[in-house]
Amino acid sequence: MVWLDLSYNYLVNIEDEILKFPQLTTLYLQCNYIKNLDETRKLAQLSDLKTLNLFGNPIEQVPGYRMFVLGAIYSENDALKRLD
């Protein structure tokens, strides 16, 4: 299991550098400032990603945000088992 915790870092975007860790299984991005749902599309490239935490970001306020994120990630892979 490979995990990365970037919680509480004032992140506004999901940077492409995260994609340099293709074996990433768990990614914590909680309590940042991510507000653009399209940023989550990048995470579909992480084919081993099983757990994603976006709790406490402004995108949570967007109606249907969880369904959007799930759809964006499942468009490329179906490994994700846990969201927030």
Burial annotation 25-37 (CB, 10 A radius, 16+ → b, else e): bbbbbbbbebeee
Give the CATH number of the domain where residue 15 resides.
3.80.10.10
> pTM for the full model?
0.93
- Distance from the Cα of residue 34 to its chain's centroid: 10
Q: Give tens-digit pLDDT for 12-70.
A: 999 999 999 999 999 999 999 999 999 999 999 999 999 999 999 999 999 999 999 99
CB-CB neighbours of 16 under 10 Å: 9
Res 35: pLDDT: 96
* Structural domain boundaries enclosing 42: 3-83
DSSP string covering 6-70, please?
-TTS---S--GGGGG-TT--EEE--SS----GGGGGGGGG-TT--EEE-TTSGGGGSTTHHHHHH
Domain count, the chain: 1
